[in-house]
Every structure is written in structure tokens, then in C-alpha cells.
């Protein structure tokens, strides 16, 4: 069976996103520079630059680049929240950077939004369990990424549905924002350390469900 995993960047003080991160107010509390510092490691990787950002040839190679490649290639479906979708819809290129079905948790009814390159957004009103059911059907033997935001990841942690956590921990202090590990119910799921990979701008941690 396909696995359900979280793959995100995280600040040293536990935030997934800086305070005020919204595309319609890019200067608010300097969130762009903060988020950029947290995710700078990713934008340097050759695979991400060539295959996701479509910036042409170039970028860093090595173990972190290989990790990015394996993560992208394992994804058969993505799940995200409406807030993440709304922010991305404003800035994603026409060829949205997923190339899989994407299931958006929302209360808004909307027809599927088909983009070039294999990305189709489906808007799910029946809750996280239904989104996961549909994602499993479309992913086949590949895995399902819970893309975010933090509240959506928390919902799937509370359901006990997350098999793996992949966290790129950056040595950046945001001070405030959206924390990853809030609103978790007891008993919370238990994980063990599976892999640690040191990079120049982040430490890459993989935890697997016990």
C-alpha cells in the first residue's frame, strides 16, 4: 500500500511559515525574506531548479539533490488546504508544480481545475478522510504527500494517517508564524528516527511511524 508522508521545511523554532505570509501583502513583516531564508537550501538544488521551477540547467548536486529527486518522484497525489491553494493559485505558473492530482480540503464547491503538465486540483468538501481515500485511488503504488498547511498536517496526524515525516530543519528563527506541532490530540502518534542528512543550509530529518 502507498505511504502517506509529510515533506516540509521548518524553522529552528518550529514554524512552517512566518507570520503574515500572504501573497496579497508581500511586504508584511518581511515574511518573504524570512521564508526565503528558511527554504534557501531547496532553491539551490539542481533537480528542483530544472524539473520543478523550470529554470534551465544548473544547481547543486549531491546527496541533498538526490533526496529532492526521490521525494518528488515518489509522489502520486498531493493533499493541501484551501489556504495553501489560495496563496499558490496567485503565483503558480500555468504548469503548476505538482504534476499529480491535488486534493484541496475546502468548504467551497468548485469544479476540478485542470492544468497543463498533469496537475488537476480537486476540491473536496467531505473532509480529510474522503480526500485521503481519493488520493489513495489515484496514487496507485506511489505515495501521498500531505503538502500543508500546518492545520491540514495536524488533521492527518490526529487521524493517525501519517506514516513518515520528512523535515528540512533550517537554522533560521522566525519568532512567530504557523507552528507545525500544535492542536494535536492525545495519544499523539509515535515516530522513530529513520535518517539524518546534513546539508549546508538545513538538516534533513526523516521519521517513520512506530
pLDDT in tens, 49-70: 998 888 888 999 999 999 999 9
CATH of domain 4-209: 3.40.430.10
Mean pLDDT of the 24-36 span: 79
Mean confidence (pLDDT) of the chain: 93
pLDDT at res. 123: 98
Mean pLDDT of the 14-38 span: 83
pLDDT at res. 166: 97
pLDDT at res. 54: 80
d(CA 170, CA 148): 18
Q: How confident is the model at residue 40 (pLDDT cuts 50, 70, 90)?
A: very high
pLDDT at res. 21: 84
Q: Where are the domains of the chain?
A: 4-209
> Is the pTM value of this prediction over 0.85?
yes
pLDDT over 80 (residue 27): no
pLDDT in tens, 69-125: 999 999 999 999 999 999 889 888 888 889 999 999 999 999 999 999 899 999 999
Q: In what order do the strands lie in the sheet with 120-124?
A: 113-114, 120-124, 101-105, 75-81, 143-148, 4-11, 164-170, 203-209, 191-198
Angstrom CA distances, 67 to 81, 82, 98, 146, 195, stand at 25, 28, 17, 17, 11
- pLDDT exceeding 70 applies to what percent of the chain? 98
* 64 within 8 A of 41, measured Cβ to Cβ: yes
pLDDT over 90 (residue 187): no
Amino acid at each position: 500500500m502507498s505511504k502517506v508522508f509529510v515533506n516540509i521545511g521548518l524553522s529552528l523554532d518550529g514554524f512552517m511559515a512566518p507570520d503574515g505570509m500572504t501573497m496579497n501583502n508581500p511586504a508584511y513583516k518581511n515574511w518573504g525574506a524570512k521564508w526565503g531564508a528558511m527554504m534557501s537550501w531547496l532553491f539551490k538544488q539542481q533537480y528542483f531548479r530544472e524539473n520543478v521551477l523550470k529554470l534551465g540547467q544548473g544547481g547543486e548536486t549531491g546527496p541533498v539533490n538526490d533526496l529532492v529527486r526521490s521525494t518528488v518522484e515518489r509522489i502520486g497525489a498531493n493533499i493541501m488546504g484551501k489556504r495553501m491553494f489560495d496563496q499558490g493559485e496567485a503565483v503558480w505558473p500555468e504548469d503548476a508544480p505538482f504534476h499529480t492530482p491535488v486534493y484541496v480540503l475546502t468548504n467551497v464547491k468548485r469544479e476540478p481545475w485542470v492544468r497543463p503538465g498533469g496537475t488537476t486540483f480537486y476540491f473536496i468538501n467531505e473532509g480529510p478522510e474522503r480526500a485521503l481515500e481519493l488520493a489513495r485511488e489515484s496514487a496507485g503504488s506511489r505515495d501521498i504527500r500531505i503538502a500543508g498547511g500546518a492545520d491540514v498536517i495536524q488533521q492527518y496526524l490526529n487521524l493517525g494517517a501519517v506514516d513518515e515525516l520528512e523535515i528540512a530543519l533550517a537554522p533560521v528563527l522566525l519568532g512567530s508564524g504557523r507552528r507545525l506541532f500544535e492542536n494535536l490530540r492525545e495519544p499523539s502518534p509515535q515516530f522513530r528516527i529513520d535518517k539524518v542528512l546534513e546539508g549546508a543550509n538545513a538538516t534533513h530529518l526523516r521519521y517513520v511511524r512506530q
